[in-house]
Structure 1
Amino acid sequence: MNTPIRRRMLATAAVASVAALALAGCSAGGSEADAGSDEDVTLTITTFGTFGYDDLYEEYEDLHPNVTIEATNIDTGGNARTDAFTKIAAGSGLSDIVAIEEGWLGAIMDVSDTFADLRDYGIEDRKGDWVDWKYAQGTDADGRVIGYGTDIGPSGICYNGAAFEAAGLPSDRESVAELLTGDWENFFAVGQEYTDKTGKAWYDHSGFVWNAMVNQLDEGYYTADGELNVDGNAELQERFELLGAATEGGQSAAQAAWDWNGGKSFVDGTFATFVCPGWMLGVVQGQVEAGGGDASTGWDFADVFPGGAANWGGAWLSIPESSAHKVAAAELADWLTQPEQQVKQSVAAGNFPSTVKAQEELAADATPNEFFNGAPTGAILAERAKGVVAQFKGADDSVIQENVFGPALSALDRGETDTQGAWDQAIQLLNDLVG
């Protein structure tokens, strides 16, 4: 498929490959000198969203006094994608460690030779640490492993207990899980009851709900063999129509993606539910606190997800060939993704680990999360992770989600079009941007 984006990607690959080889040739000696030495080294790392790494950086520096970590965190995965590909195209500027998000991993695989083959740094000795599909996702078509797996995205439902009570709905976790058990049709039926009783929205905006609905399918925007799978996909359109009917029924709060009125919409009852992969728990807490709320605001986390198991998100830590400190960077990335550190990351940010031992530890640990009304969030996510296998993500997957369906669903949320009009708009954008 020779689309405009694909052509740009291939051009990017050519530029990046040449630059990476040149830079790697200049820096290989420096990289090897870092191995096991006590020489001072400054390592740069770029992540996005809520990674929960701040305390881990300090711990690593304490363990390695010669290492200084300079961390950059970009607000969203979409902006991190733009940052990474801008620097890949320029042939310079990438950090020593770059976090790659699941939604644009497919695009990264088109330029995978920009990143070091981690087999050269011993990752094969750890292959059994990760769930098998996570390790496989970080492996390119030539068998090169380009990413240390960080988290995966099993999903539950965040909900505001106080809002449920005001609508006469049960608010304890077990009853909410029972109430929402079933398919998306049931979820929206309960939502319509809530909206009709309260005059308030059920979910924050259609885009995130749609992303969760798509991720749950065996094949989403692409087939498993990499073919575009949107126009003419009856299963996808059926789900879109189900979501569209709920949105037209007033269930969407029409929030902008990643912008909830400075967090106030999480505090003032603007909406009652929120689709929550593990990494989103930290987002919810941060938004509530930014909006002036705290644990008493009433947010909770239920062991349920419409339609069953679903994975949304997850990331990898990759080492660009342009890094002058590849050995030291690999040591840091390896340490950050060890099971022990993944458990700490989960405690800090709610992210759910991709390593088996860390998952088992969280499954056995029912430690209450005080912010989410004492919910044992780690144990709940371990339960939600059962049966999860990540969907294949094609090169333009994140583009389709954000720039094709994003604008169409936003227009639907604002009442500027109906469901059919929004679908038609998405297909037109798909043809314009992807082909």
Structure 2
Amino acid sequence: MTLLVKESDGTEAIKPMGMFFKPSEYKKKINLGTRCLIVDAITTLSKLKPKLSNAEWSWFAEHPQFRHIFHMKRENHRVQEMWMLLLRTTCSNKRREVRFIVNGIPIRYGLREHALISGLNCHNYPLGYKECGGTKFVDRHFKEGEFRRLEDVKANLVNIGPHRDRLNMAVQFFLGSVICAQTKVGNGANDVLELFQREVDDLDFWRTFPWARYSFGYMLKEISHTMDHFGGSVKENILWPLPGFGVPLELLAFETIPKLGKEFRVPVEGADVYCPRMCQTSFKRNGMKGVSVSEINKALGEETGIDSIIPTKTPQERTLLDDNLEDENDVDKPDIAVDSWEKRLDEGLSIFFKDMFDEGVAAREKQAEEIEDAAGDGVHLAVQSIEQGEGMKMLKTMLRLIKRVDKKVGQLDEILLPLEAFVKDVEKRKQRKK
């Protein structure tokens, strides 16, 4: 693997970086689901009866960190761009950041990116924070041995009424729904995190807690778990839940690849200039619940105008980072490749892996051709099978295959004419039977 560094004296080779997935996997699709239930959490809080008091609601609306989550435009998560990044995850010794290589250019996902997009606090943990708070609150509302799952917290919140502990219960529900949502739901779910159970005993202490650092660490563990699960090969059409506060990772591709941002995101009118990136833009309305991997790959194309590290755009963003970041009190593990990238980026140089760019683009184009060819063969086989009386199931399969024929538009007439004739014949026979 050759690294090309754009500088006046030509190119320079340095240590390459291994990848979890080969380019042949980049077109594969799964049903990636998020457990970050922002809309449900805010809707539940706003519909409590009796309504939250002004003091209770202001705890969220005026919270130095969480208020931004209430500023966001409420919309469905669109996570296939997140999946696009995960497919391009690099192998690294680093513990507190992840790198993705898209079209030959590395993209960093670290605390800085998490803070810039979310507006949450990334300061170092306060000493002894794991022992802070207590269990008086949960002991009052949950019997010993009783489930303390998110759904149980929600049920207690809805039924608690105008109780002195209602705000504490609401905060516990919010944290479990948004900041560190867990993988499993329903009967197989675990109790909400112990930190959240202890947190509600002392809301003032936890008001300034570095929730970005905590939620970011939780996300890194889930990304690592995802990589271990797939083991370099993707089995398509499975459902894979990704818990945690995934909004920053969900938006990372749009912030580091301006072309994708222009294609799928629009500015939010009237957004506060002091709000973080997640409040500044929203998804374009396209009549769909999400954006497909094929749409993202198509828009990505051969684009190389990609930022390895998100640049700040305004003085307000620089202030936000100054307020939310501080020097680490723990040194991360070294990694020769990543450290060399950081050095060159700090020097104002751009990094571009030419061979990875060529392999990724070629793999996507090759797979597109294979899908189209398979679709053509599948259509003819489906028509033949239906004519032999194998049923309408194959017809549905055939129609799905037709939708995947993106480029060979000229073949559609040859496909659709026999299909339409067959459907008309089926309808006539149904009428005669009546």
When the two structures are superposed, what TM-score results if normalisation uses the length of structure 2?
A: 0.26
Q: Which has the higher strand share?
A: 1
Q: Which has the larger radius of gyration?
A: 2
